[in-house]
Amino acid sequence: MGVLKKNLVLVVLSIVCLLIFAAGIFLTLSESGKVTAAREKINSAESQLKNLLNADPAPTVENVEASQANVLQLEAQLKKIRDNLQQGSGIVVSSDGIGVMASIQQFISEYQRRFADITNTIDKDETPFVLPQKFAFGFEQYIDQAAPPTDPAAVAKLDKQRQIISYILDQLIEVNPHSIKSVQRHIYEKTGKNTGGFSVDPLVTAAVPGAIDTMAFSITFTGYSNSLRGFLNNLAKFEMPLVVRDIEVQRPSGSETVAADAAPSGFEALFGESTTATDSAKKEEQKPVISENVSSFTVVLEYIDIVLPFESVEASPESVENPS
């Protein structure tokens, strides 16, 4: 204790020095943490800057203009595709129930007459076209009565379906079918048991909610294979946006393929084909002979109606801030 009193000044100075040293260590550690945090921010900023500089494409006004030009080209292509799909789809429909029912009655009578005028040759005999009794081409519920639906939207769809089926039947008449078995359509109007009608499997339909609406149809007729081929070729002209979704073929019993049972021998077996007239005749004899009978064909169709709105992009380089 005496020593402490004798060296009081030295002790006080020593304590002060220790406090200053501790404060220095604290400040050093504190500043070191701030430096580390600042360095991390700098590194992050440098990384972001490097990513922006290496961006592909870099966000410059020139690249924005190029992107806008690309968008315009894509819009032009979309419009071209849309125009192709809508080719022939400009059907004018009416929601006047009385007028539409009159048109359907006239449609039924006209096509009954047109199909009845068709004659075909089967086994060298002229045969009349076969049309079922009271056949109304998908409008059977209106063949005896013409009470229009109360819903104007359903009336308009009826009118549209009549015009589409008229086009389908026109293409069929051109290929001389032998008979017609059924025409089915999707029924939008409320008609008791008939509500709903024909529809395409949702897994294969071309309909896209908010973009593409479709109307489903099915037609079954009989004829030779060239009738089906001609019918499909007519539809492929795409004068009206109809897409074939399915084809079913039922061939009658007795259809067969007969081939000559001949095999090369002698000179031909050793050296292959001969170019003599006799050999050519043999080849003709060996070709399959197809004995074709009248078959039944069912073709499922969808009418395509584009409802996707076309909105052009009207951005300009001036509306984009200069990233530099």
Length of the chain: 324
For residue 161, pLDDT beyond 90: yes
For residue 49, pLDDT beyond 50: yes
The Cα–Cα gap between 120 and 76 comes to 48
For residue 148, pLDDT beyond 50: yes
Q: With beta carbons less than 8 A apart as the criterion, state whether 220 and 180 touch.
A: yes
For residue 266, pLDDT beyond 50: no
**SS3 category, 35:** helix
Domains in the chain, ordered, with CATH?
97-255+292-306 (3.30.70.60)
Tell the residue number behind the tokens 């499909």, with chain if given: 232
pLDDT at 274: 38
**SS3 category, 248:** strand
Phi and psi at residue 111, to the nearest 5°:
-80, -25
The Cα–Cα gap between 176 and 223 comes to 8
Residues 6+ apart with CB under 8 A from 137: 107, 108, 111, 165, 169, 183
The Cα–Cα gap between 47 and 17 comes to 44
The Cα–Cα gap between 57 and 203 comes to 39
Select from 123, 158, 124, 88 the least CA-distant residue to 304. 88
pTM: 0.61
The Cα–Cα gap between 112 and 128 comes to 13
The Cα–Cα gap between 111 and 120 comes to 17
* Structure-block tokens of residue 228: 């089906």
Q: 110 falls in which pLDDT band (50, 70, 90)?
A: very high
Give me the half-sphere count of Cα atoms (radius 13 Å) on the Cβ side of residue 277: 0
For residue 189, pLDDT beyond 90: no
Section 306-312 average pLDDT: 65
Pairing between β-strand 196-197 and β-strand 179-187 as defined by DSSP bridges: antiparallel
| pLDDT, mean over the chain | 76
The Cα–Cα gap between 185 and 70 comes to 42
Residue 106 vs residue 9, higher pLDDT = 106
Residue 23 vs residue 298, higher pLDDT = 298
DSSP per-residue string spanning 171-229: HHHTT--SEEEEEEEEE-S--GGGSEE----TTT---BTTTEEEEEEEEEEEE-HHHHH
Nearest 10 degrees: Cα torsion 224, 225, 228, 229:
-140
Q: What angle do CA 45, 51, 53 make, to 5 degrees?
A: 100
* Structure-block tokens of residue 230: 């001609």
pLDDT one-digit tens code per residue, 202-214: 888 888 888 889 9
Q: What angle do CA 124, 125, 129 make, to 5 degrees?
A: 125
Tell the residue number behind the tokens 């009565």, with chain if given: 145
Q: 230 falls in which pLDDT band (50, 70, 90)?
A: very high
For residue 276, pLDDT beyond 50: no
Most confident of 45-59, 69-83, 137-151: 137-151
Phi and psi at residue 106, to the nearest 5°:
-65, -40
